[in-house]
Amino acid sequence: MLWGVALVEGQTILTAWERPDETEARRSLVGKEERQGIVAELRDGYVNGDLGFDPLGLRPEGQEEFDTMRTKELQNGRLAMLGVAGMVAQELVTGQTLF
């Protein structure tokens, strides 16, 4: 599981973030005092959640449909986190494990 997460995050770094030479180019444009605060930024054309990997062709065609799908996935993730929090609270209150 850790390897899978590392692959996805590595692809995000390659796709979404600017390269070190691009960051250095931005640093060279500002004064010496401001250089300390300049770090890599997301690229202008990057869309959160779009890593260019869709082997099953599930990505909607239009931008509005894509945004709706992303919102639904976020809401499902939040619901799952609430469910897990409820299970943990139940175990803490009753003192019995669920499984």
Structure tokens at 25: 């180019």
pLDDT in tens, the chain (99 residues): 999 999 988 888 888 888 888 888 877 877 666 666 778 888 888 887 777 778 898 888 888 998 898 899 999 999 999 999 999 999 999 999 888
What is the enclosing helix (H) or strand (E) of 3? helix 2-16
Other CB atoms within a 10 A radius of the CB of residue 36 amount to 8
Biggest CA pair distance of the chain: 61
Provide φ and ψ at 11, rounded to 5°.
Answer: -65, -35
**How far is residue 96 from each of residues 54, 81, 87, 90, 99, measured CA to CA in Å?**
42, 20, 11, 8, 9
